[in-house]
Amino acid sequence: MIDSDIAVRDPLARVKSLKEVKNKKIRALCTEEVQALLSKTKKIYP
């Protein structure tokens, strides 16, 4: 609710915060994997 251009209640009060999940299985691609991904992508989307 807004009264005289001042917010009376916090509009985000009922929004739940997100939980951060740590995943140790995520890893960066190596150079060869990146090249393979790009070459296959170029075949599908020239």
- pTM beyond cutoff 0.85: no
* Look-up of token digits 């009376």: 8
Q: What is the pLDDT at residue 13?
A: 80
User: What per-residue confidence (pLDDT) applies to 32?
Assistant: 97
2 vs 4, higher pLDDT: 4
Distance between CA atoms of residues 41 and 43, nearest Å: 5
pLDDT tens digits, one per residue of 7-43? 677 877 888 888 888 878 888 999 999 999 999 999 9
24, 18 contact by CB (below 8 A): no
User: Residue 3 phi/psi, 5° resolution?
Assistant: -125, 115
Query: Which DSSP category does 3 fall into?
Result: E
Backbone angles phi, psi at 2, to 5 degrees: -115, 130
